[in-house]
Amino acid sequence: MVRTRFAPSPTGYMHIGNFRSALYAYIFAKQNKGKFVLRIEDTDKKRYVEGALNNLIITLNWAGLNYDEGVFIENNDIIQKGDFGPYIQSERLDIYKKHALELVKKEKAYYCFCTEERLEEMRKQQIESGRAPMYDRRCLNLSKEEIDKKIVNHEKFVIRQKIEIAGFTEYNDLIRGKISIKNDMLDDQILLKSDGYPTYNFANVIDDHLMEITHVIRGEEYISSTPKYIQLYNNFDWQVPFFAHLPLLLNPDRTKLSKRQGDVSVEDYIKKGYLRDAIINFVAFLGWNPGQGSEEEFFNLDQLVEKFDLKKVHKSGAIFDLKKLDWINSHYIKNLSADKLYKLALPYFEQKDFYKNAKTEQKTEEYLKKVLGIEKERLNNLSEVGENNKFFFMEINYEKELLLWKKMTYDELKTSLNMSKDALSNISEQDWTKDSIEKILLKIAKDKRGELLWPLRACLTGEKKSPSPFEVAFVLGKNEVLKRLDQALNLLK
């Protein structure tokens, strides 16, 4: 059975790159009727962030990446489900210690008592002489007596992997094909730290094997470390899983995606009002597409499970193009029902001062649905609601020059506004629709649309740019429209 895993560290919000790894691992497991596992790698105590674990789980649940085993939240409590637990690494320390000592016994690992000061000086000298910094194996040949004496004297130690430095380590990457790395380029990495905690590089091998993970899907930054992992598998005589290394995520300038150039966490985009389906759709395309001949751009999660092919993931870096995300998100917003859009947009309205200070009748569900009906064609994300059309919620002020269309005189302007007022006054509340407003105004405008519609739109919005006067009038309602027309006419007295 195919078994994949997502193994994040609870060190903050979920990076887009980690979310992509989770998404691909989930999809691959579902395609193969396998299991998707959530494991928490919390062994880096210095980087642990309170609440990050809950946040990771909440984000996965929000995305619909429903995992079969691992760490869950139930009734606000963290629980674990599955036959391969614990699924939290800090609860598996005895397991790592046991396997580290087994490697020492096999002479595939060794005790290292070097101080941080000694290691720093070693690295400094290596760099100055033009060599790659790596451990010099000073402690490799300590005698048993020397080791026992140092342990009795409570000298701090770590356990290091004894790398096989002759020859090459090769593996077949599911995305990149055959990868071969010279063993003498590999460092004797630390497996167990002086505090008894494992390093990531050790714990993930132990856990992947014991949890029967068959396919490891992760970022390309682990390509060069994978030979070390493979040597560990071989040291234990374990089956090596399949590896798939995903391309780097890049800024538009092709530098590595980083916080310096914009938001990098899924939660940032959720807060800005990017929809679930849009984020999943966009992230799936960061390194993958359906292939030549396909013009399909929009895929929900179920469709991705049907269409995604790990073999079609690219090797080269994937550009994080915010304009593409906006375009995808706007597509999904346009396709929301009025009820769904209202429900999703309301929390964003409630955060805005112009909404908080609006009249009661401008906060009703009916009114907001009208506003959203106008805005939905122009929204990139839900945090934009109302921002370009605050005149729907606020008293407006403007200079009378704004009302003038090209070279029209103020007398002509006054006539134009009165024509609009008379025409709109004769529309009943029952017939107050966008279509009826447009039909009547265009009928009286004849071949002078600009002279009629520009002053009307300007007096209703107080802006040079806005939706059409028909749309604005429909949303504002008859009483407010006539009030704003009177305001404009009084400005001309």
Residue positions annotated with a catalytic role: 259
How remote is the C-alpha of 309 from its chain's centroid? Answer: 21
Pairing of strands 35-38, 69-74: parallel
Helix (H) or strand (E) holding 192: strand 190-192
Q: Where are the alpha helices (DSSP H) in 350-409?
A: 353-356, 365-375
Say how far apart CA 395 and CA 64 lie, in whole Å.
43
Question: Cα–Cα–Cα angle for 295, 296, 299, nearest 5°?
Answer: 165
| Cis peptide, bond prior to residue 86, ω within 30 of zero | yes
The dihedral of CA 148, 152, 153, 156: what is its sign?
Answer: positive
Helix (H) or strand (E) holding 55: helix 52-63
Say how far apart CA 463 and CA 357 lie, in whole Å.
20
Is residue 58 classed as helix, strand or coil in its secondary structure? helix
Say how far apart CA 232 and CA 240 lie, in whole Å.
9
Q: Mark 56-91 as b/e (b = at least 16 C-beta within 10 Å).
A: bbebbeebebebebbbbeeeeeeebebebebbbbee
CB-CB contact of 56 with 8 (8 Å): yes
Q: Where are the alpha helices (DSSP H) in 68-157?
A: 93-105, 116-128, 144-152
The encoded tokens of residue 486 equal: 């009177």
Surface-to-core class of residue 437, CB atoms within 10 Å of its CB (0-12 exposed, 13-18 middle, 19+ buried): buried
DSSP states along 245-283: EEPPEE-TTSSBP-GGGS--BHHHHHHTT--HHHHHHHH
Half-sphere exposure of 276 (CA within 13 A, CB side): 12
